[in-house]
Amino acid sequence: MEDDLANLRLVDDEEEAIQEDAAAVESISQFYLVGRCLTDSVVHFPSLRNTMADLWHPIGGICITDIGEKRYLFQFFHEVDIARVLAGTPWFFNNHLLILKRIPYGGNPAMLELNSMEFWIQVHELPPGLMSESLVKQLGNFCGRFLEYDSVTPFLGPKMYMRIQVCLDVSAPLKRKKKIQVGKAMTAYARFKYEKLSLFCFICGKLGHGESFYPFRLRIEPSKIVFGWDLSLRAVVRRRTSENVTGGQHNWCNWGEDGLAINGLEKRPMDLVLEEENDAVALVEGKKRQRVVEEPFDFLGSKVGSSSMDLSASSGDQSSQAQ
């Protein structure tokens, strides 16, 4: 009987909550990022920690912790530093994409999805009159999830292209082009180029590995392998021109002398492997529609990895090498 009463008192004590200031906890948690490297290889955590801290060089300092399952916790101490890192994405460590997400208030860094990343995409080869906000949103949602577009149209030589920021699913193949149908008489293809493009496979078109490590190669003769993706997806980033404003609106639909866009790289033909690339965006009677659219605060404890590898980190342009 006495044991039962003691157990009841213990349960009551366990259920009596310790009060914490929610505002104070939220102010601390807002300076955390969780991330992982998009690779199946072993990542040497001490190298990643030292390299990224040196590359970012945050004014208020940083603490990087290995929380297991190839996930890393990045603790900043000022909004200026974390905002600058997020604005500079995508980042890379040893040519592997470093996927970063801000941890929401009350979020568990071990449970957050780390399967998407923001990229800027250049849209080339659109004919005159098609560079509209409506079309660019459809193209953005085709490549991933549309976020925004650059209101200042950059030039590559004397020609122009559009820039859109898209949240890409890193487990899906990179989109290469999209068919656009204007009425019944005109068909065009918008071609995509990715800024700061890192390692990707020329066979499956996915980020995170090169074609040399694609398992499909074990089941097919080398002579029968089709390379459907190539380095033409890598964008040439140039300094953008001065902004043109017409009637208080950004005028981002001006073209070069002959009204045609160019890639800026040697163009190689790519077969249509993805069916949705050939599913047209239909433009009818001036209206655009898409037919198919589809010591740090310890969260989990630290666990330091092992092994070693060469060091490199950047936010610059890197890509897979052609075979």
Q: Which of 85-94, 156-165, 294-303 has the lowest mean pLDDT?
A: 294-303
Residue 259 has pLDDT above 90, yes or no: no
- Say if CB 211 and CB 162 are below 8 A apart: no
pLDDT at 314 over 60: yes
Same domain, yes or no, for 153 and 45? Answer: no
Which range among 138-142, 253-257, 286-290, 309-313 shows the weakest confidence by mean pLDDT?
A: 253-257
Mean per-residue pLDDT, 67-83: 95
Q: Please tell me the pTM assigned to this model.
A: 0.69
- Is there a domain that residue 227 lies in? yes
Is 321 part of a structural domain of the chain? no
* pLDDT for residue 299 is more than 60: no
Q: Name the range with the highest mean pLDDT among 23-27, 142-146, 266-270.
A: 142-146
Choose the weakest-confidence range: 77-81, 108-112, 230-234, 266-270. 266-270
Distance in angstroms (rounded) separating the CA atoms of residues 305 and 285 = 59
297 falls in which pLDDT band (50, 70, 90)?
very low
Shared domain for 46 and 188, answered yes or no, is no
Position 290 scores a pLDDT of 36
The pLDDT value given to residue 209: 87
Of 56, 88, 114, which residue is a domain's last? 114
Strands 62-68 and 287-290: unpaired
Q: In this structure, what token pair is assigned to residue 151?
A: 């209101």
Cis peptide before 90 (omega within 30 of 0): yes
Is residue 20 very low, low, confident or very high in pLDDT (cuts 50, 70, 90)? low
In 3-state terms the chain splits into helix, strand, coil percentages (rounded to 5) of 20, 25, 50
Share of the chain above pLDDT 70, in %: 64
Residues 224 and 154 grouped into a single domain: yes
What burial class does residue 33 get, using C-beta atoms within 10 Å of its C-beta: 0-12 exposed, 13-18 middle, 19+ buried? buried
* Residues 131 and 41 both lie in one domain: no
What CATH number has the domain bearing residue 72? 3.30.70.330
Distance in angstroms (rounded) separating the CA atoms of residues 231 and 119: 16
13 and 155 in a single domain? The answer is: no
Task: Please give the average per-residue pLDDT across 17-22, as a whole number.
Answer: 58
> Nearest-CA neighbor of 183 among 307, 59, 92, 288?
288
- Pairwise CA distance, residues 299 & 160, whole Å: 48
Supply 314's token pair. Answer: 């950047």
Out of 62, 89, 114, a domain closes at 114
Cα 100-40-58 angle, rounded to 5 deg: 30
Q: Are 261 and 184 members of one domain?
A: yes
Query: Does 140 lie in the same domain as 96?
Result: no
Residue 67: closest CA among 30, 112, 28: 112
The string of pLDDT tens digits covering residues 79-120 is: 999 999 999 999 999 999 999 999 988 889 999 999 999 999
Instruction: Using the predicted structure, report yes or no on whether residue 76 has a pLDDT greater than 50.
Output: yes
Same domain, 160 and 212: yes
DSSP string spanning 276-322? GGGSPEEEETTEEEESS------SS------------EESS---PPP
| Region 160-189 average pLDDT | 91
Chain centroid offset of residue 227 CA: 23
CA distance 6 to 9: 5
Q: Whose structure tokens read 């000022």?
A: 78
* Whether residue 47 has pLDDT greater than 90: yes
Per-position DSSP letters for 89-122, written without gaps between them: --EEETTEEEEEEEPPTT--TTTS---EEEEEEE
Phi, psi values for residue 144, rounded to 5°: -175, -120
Q: Residue 288: is its pLDDT beyond 80?
A: no
- Same domain, yes or no, for 107 and 123? no
Same domain, 121 and 249: yes
Lowest pLDDT segment from 127-131, 174-178, 225-229, 284-288 = 284-288
Domain count, the chain: 2
Where in the sequence is the domain holding 126, given as residue range(s)?
A: 116-290
128 against 22, higher pLDDT: 128
* Claim to verify: residue 120 and residue 87 sit in the same structural domain: no
Q: Is there a contact between 63 and 321 (Cβ–Cβ < 8 Å)?
A: no
176: confidence class by pLDDT, cuts 50, 70, 90: very high
Name the residue with higher pLDDT: 260 or 90: 90
> H/E element holding 50?
helix 45-56
Q: Which of 323, 79, 289 is nearest to 201 (CA)?
A: 323
Domain presence at residue 28: yes
Of the candidate ranges 15-19, 226-230, 303-307, the one whose mean pLDDT is the lowest: 303-307
Q: Do residues 120 and 263 both lie within one domain? A: yes
- Say how far apart CA 95 and CA 81 lie, in whole Å: 23
